[in-house]
Amino acid sequence: MEICSCDILEKEETQKIRVYATKEKFRKLVTIVEGIDESKLEQTSSELKHKLACGGTAKNGVIVLQGDQRKNIKKFLVQFGFPESSITVLDAIQ
């Protein structure tokens, strides 16, 4: 039996990452990142918080970052190895 990495690559390419901003408690803006695999969620959250110099959390399959981070987040996700074509950044505040 041969081991093929094709299945792994297909999985990563079909993964859709969605980034948008919304207002939380007390009308504070937060940036939501959805669609990152659970196995990479904590590490990606930690790296994003460090690179963007903000607080945040990762739980229930979602990364929540303090403030409106939509402008720079795509660049960092690509640096972390996520395909640029799978990242969608929504302009409107939800």
- The reported pLDDT for the residue numbered 22 is 93
- The reported pLDDT for the residue numbered 3 is 57
- The reported pLDDT for the residue numbered 11 is 46
Give pLDDT < 70 ranges for the chain: 1-14
Q: Which two tokens stand for residue 22?
A: 């919304």
Question: Domain boundaries in the chain?
Answer: 6-89
CATH code given to domain 6-89: 3.30.780.10
Amino acid present at 70: R
- The reported pLDDT for the residue numbered 83 is 93
pTM of the model: 0.81
Q: Are 56 and 48 in contact (CB under 8 A)?
A: yes
- The reported pLDDT for the residue numbered 51 is 94
* CA–CA distances in Å: residue 51 to residues 10, 16, 69, 79: 28, 22, 11, 11
